[in-house]
Chain A
Amino acid sequence: NFMLTQPLSVSDSPGKTVTITCTRSSGSIGSTYVQWYQQRPGSSPTTVIYDNNIRPSGVPDRFSGSIDISSNSASLTVSGLKTEDEADYFCQSYDSTSYVFGTGTRVTVL
């Protein structure tokens, strides 16, 4: 199995842009799709990006996803930061028999 490593925390002011990385330990980041989930305090996770870069309906276009084969990582970018974006974010991918979540990143809006 592989691991997905994220920074512990990122922060910035309202209106700014933050980017969270998710680095895969083994195997290619491009071999399976990457998802991103947002989890606000006391709530269940919700999907903000699936299949590397697709937003479910209802998710603002301030959220975008991408992958970088050269660094074997995925990224979630939140632009025009709002106080409501303050939450934990988890990347997730899978292999033939299991699903792997990233270590999680706390986004703080200063």
Chain B
Amino acid sequence: EVQLVESGGGLVQPGGSLRLSCAASGFTFSISDMHWVRQPTGKGLEWVSGIGTVGDTHYADSVRGRFSISRDDAKKSLYLHIGSLRAEDTGVYYCAREHNDLSYFDYWGQGTVVTVSS
């Protein structure tokens, strides 16, 4: 069974940083492109960042230069370092797997909550 379990969220002050983690199991992590998608409370989904199997990275314009995605295939883990945080970065951060052959997110984690507030 495919499982994605996020952790690392919490309350952080504006300008601060956090590292989010996503532990994967039930599939071959090393051959999967992985992504982070976020959702402000009561609002829609926003793609944040993705990383390919060879370490190629992509970012939404809203987070480029502040967030950094990485992966550790040996640990079957995905990470997102989020920095220079602003109030508008508040929300649920989901880890999602991209289907191996198709460009859609076929599995999602339960999410971890990030709150940016003083």
A residues with CB within 8 A of B: 1, 32-33, 35, 37, 39, 44-47, 50-51, 56, 90, 92, 94, 97-104
Contacts and interface: CB of A to CB of B under 8 A. Distances in A.
Contacts of B37: 101
A50 B108 contact: no
B35, B45, B46, B47, most chain A CB atoms within 10 A: B45
Interface residues of B, number: 22
Interface majority SS (helix, strand, loop, mixed), chain B: loop
A46 B47 CA distance: 15
A1 B61 contact: yes
Given A50-B102, A97-B58, A45 B108 contact: yes
Interface of B: 35, 37, 43-47, 50, 58, 60-61, 94, 99, 102-106, 108-111
15 contacts: A1-B61, A33-B104, A44-B94, A44-B111, A45-B108, A47-B104, A47-B105, A51-B104, A92-B104, A98-B60, A99-B35, A99-B50, A101-B44, A101-B46, A102-B44
A100 B47 contact: yes
Contact of A101 (B47, B99, B108, B110): B47
A1, A51, A99, A104, most chain B CB atoms within 10 A: A99
Contact of A104 (B35, B44, B50, B102): B44
Contact of B104 (A39, A50, A97, A103): A50
